[in-house]
Amino acid sequence: MSASYIIDGYNLIHALGMIQHNMDRGGLEQSRRKLLDFLVEGFGEDAPHVTVVFDAKQAPRGVARQQQFHGLQVHFAPKDQSADDWIETLIADAAHPRTLVVVSDDMRLQKAAERRGASAWSHDALLDFLEKRARSAAAPQEPEQRGSDSAQEKEKWLKEFGQLERDPELKEFFDLDRFDDVNLSEPEA
């Protein structure tokens, strides 16, 4: 079973410096969008396993409390709860808490995750994880191993090179008996 992730959205936005103290109108929405774009790129095909939770006080008007953003699950906490409260509810309701990773520098959430047997990651741990993912995705892939050659292909190569052992100029390469007299043991001191 693959891991699922719950991310404390505003906590991570602040940690990554994606938000300014004196924002213009729409600045908070831009910061959320920047974070979500970052996470979509970082998690790639695993984005559907990621839930990002924001406080409802900052929810944009007319936006559903739960929605998807390029695969990410985006939750705005209910009006009567903070994002931390909502994350604790999600942790408590997790069907498989051992596969859950909670990302927040908030000690309350880290302890809630640990009580359920989930992993608690700091922001730095998340960044390390995403960096390793990016490196492994960028690493050149090993070429596929070829299966055994077909009988036709073997026949072709034997025909091409099979006579080499009888070539007088190459005789020494095929004389395996010449190694009988060679002492391969350690030299005596």
Q: How far apart are CA 108 and CA 168, in angstroms?
A: 82
Say yes or no to pLDDT of 33 above 80: yes
pLDDT digits (tens, 9 = 90+) for 68-114: 999 999 999 988 889 999 999 999 999 999 999 999 999 999 999 99
Position 56 pLDDT exceeds 90: no
pTM exceeding 0.85: no
| Token pair belonging to 81 | 């709860």
If pLDDT is split at 50, 70 and 90, which confidence band does 144 have? low
The identity of residue 112, as a single letter, is A
Q: How confident is the model at residue 143 (pLDDT cuts 50, 70, 90)?
A: low
CATH class of 4-137: alpha beta
Mean pLDDT over residues 109-124, rounded? 95
Helix 27-43 vs helix 123-138: crossing angle, to nearest 10: 50
Residue count of the chain, please give it: 189
